[in-house]
Chains A and B, each alone.
Chain A
């Protein structure tokens, strides 16, 4: 008898779980029809700062719900275009094909991409041209750029990453195929690290590695290189001498709601820009 009642309890619990699962679904669906609901998708590099901004904005405005999802820049641009999201995030400039979609671009911040090597590396600086040749595989030894006689280990990001897209665009690491489509000219045996953090970990632990990552991930475990004799510093991006930087864009379409424009207004306000300035370069 006891065991039967125990079984009944467990069956009941399973029932509750199943019902709970479905009720969770319906709640999410309700959110979509809510006028004060905002869905924001796109670049994983922009996601952390936008989540922060969304938290402080919802704390100020009762009833507004903001859902931020990092799925990559390309997908973010596309979501803003096909209206599956209210706002798209991109951590690179729009490609020519995307510009034809007539999206409204708002630059909310700038971020630099630093070229970094292991602290044991003797190389201090590279030109943009050399960076390109290293990532392309035409320079394969550190002694060709003034370092030790060691083979260079190139570390890159997964294809589709906004940081990779921005980096390859900025150092012109792109080639065109017969149909005129641009493709990445990255050396084939580059180590592919899954995210900015993984790039940093690899560069920090491998003597001959070179990688690129967002300024917000820099620390003393890696050494950053001067590019064309300019230090990778926030002020050098502001005065335009450090060239490898990219905008963080928010993309909206002509049907975007009032809530969306209010939120963007908040991001551009002093208060919003203060949050951005914690790790990035404010647009003010």
Chain B
């Protein structure tokens, strides 16, 4: 009787310790988020106040040597590059996901999935290097513009977001119940009609999530973009222009900056951060609306 009680209380104690331990882990994750937010904002806000919010966000000139800190070129550069990456990556990604989840045989599926995972595991600097030695010279030969351009960044980012889009779309497509497909085919729809009119709409919230994560990856990518973008702080007017993304702006100049220049780089980080938060909230809201 006594022994039994002992083991029960001992079990309870271990349970207690472990639940505290898990709680501690959760606290550490959330604390790191909070600390990062505080740090970036504390370092960045003073610069935004000193420069002026409007001058900072809508200023077209980035010239630290004469205290011109306008990041509109970088904001637009990031947006354009991301849109281009989506135009390239989303159709290819979704069609690949449809192929491996709906059409391909089991053997082919087993071959493609590990390759896509490998694509996800390639470090971004390798993507950038590939862009620098293959895509940039190719664009240079074709269009005689030096090669480093918005187009090069769009292509590299388009490839980089493929694994994210394929993996998540594939998972959500496979989660669509088998009965949907069987019923559709029983009603006389062809396989393609079934895929595009039944399965894809049923999986749309998952597919949209894939796109959102793809946007996150594209807009946050730094190293690969630095290598192929040319990094001129100007507003790009065509896809053949050189441009600089917000992330590249921070990474390139941080090593040399001090004083207001350095604070302006932190402020660029604040803008990027706010940007991503708004994007995530907006798109999540949109996804919820669409899937209802």
B255 and A192 form a contact (CB under 8 A): no
A205 and B137 form a contact (CB under 8 A): yes
A182 to B66, CA, bound (A): 6
Set of chain A residues within 8 Å of B253, measured between Cβ atoms: 158-160
Q: Which residues of B contact A (CB under 8 A)?
A: 63-68, 136-137, 140, 144, 146-148, 226, 230-234, 241-242, 244, 252-253, 255-259, 261
| Other-chain contact of B66, A177, A190, A191, A194 (Cβ < 8 Å) | A177
A181 to B65, CA, bound (A): 8
1/0 contact string of A149-161 vs chain B (CB within 8 Å) = 0110100001111
Set of chain A residues within 8 Å of B63, measured between Cβ atoms: 159, 183-184
- Name A205's closest neighbour in chain B (CB-CB): B137
Give the Cβ gap from A110 to chain B, nearest Cβ, in Å: 22
- Name A191's closest neighbour in chain B (CB-CB): B230
| Other-chain contact of A78, B65, B66, B258 (Cβ < 8 Å) | B258
Set of chain B residues within 8 Å of A153, measured between Cβ atoms: 146
| Other-chain contact of B230, A74, A160, A161, A192 (Cβ < 8 Å) | A192
A residues 159-200 touching B (CB-CB < 8 Å): 159-161, 177, 181-184, 188-194
A191 and B65 form a contact (CB under 8 A): no
B257 and A160 form a contact (CB under 8 A): yes
Give the Cβ gap from A204 to chain B, nearest Cβ, in Å: 11
| Other-chain contact of A191, B232, B258, B259 (Cβ < 8 Å) | B232
A75 and B232 form a contact (CB under 8 A): no
B252 and A194 form a contact (CB under 8 A): yes
Known A151-B144, A189-B232, A189-B242; contact A183-B66, beta-carbon cutoff 8 A: yes
Set of chain A residues within 8 Å of B233, measured between Cβ atoms: 188, 192
Set of chain B residues within 8 Å of A72, measured between Cβ atoms: 255-258
A residues 219-274 touching B (CB-CB < 8 Å): none
B256 and A189 form a contact (CB under 8 A): no
Give the Cβ gap from A41 to chain B, nearest Cβ, in Å: 11
- Name B235's closest neighbour in chain A (CB-CB): A188
- Name A150's closest neighbour in chain B (CB-CB): B144
Set of chain B residues within 8 Å of A71, measured between Cβ atoms: 255-256, 258
B66 and A181 form a contact (CB under 8 A): yes
Give the Cβ gap from A98 to chain B, nearest Cβ, in Å: 13
- Sample of 15 A–B contacts (CB below 8 Å): A72-B255, A72-B256, A74-B258, A78-B258, A159-B256, A160-B253, A188-B234, A189-B234, A190-B232, A191-B148, A192-B230, A192-B231, A192-B252, A193-B231, A206-B146
| Other-chain contact of A74, B66, B147, B244, B256 (Cβ < 8 Å) | B256
1/0 contact string of A10-50 vs chain B (CB within 8 Å) = 00000000000000000000000000000000001000000
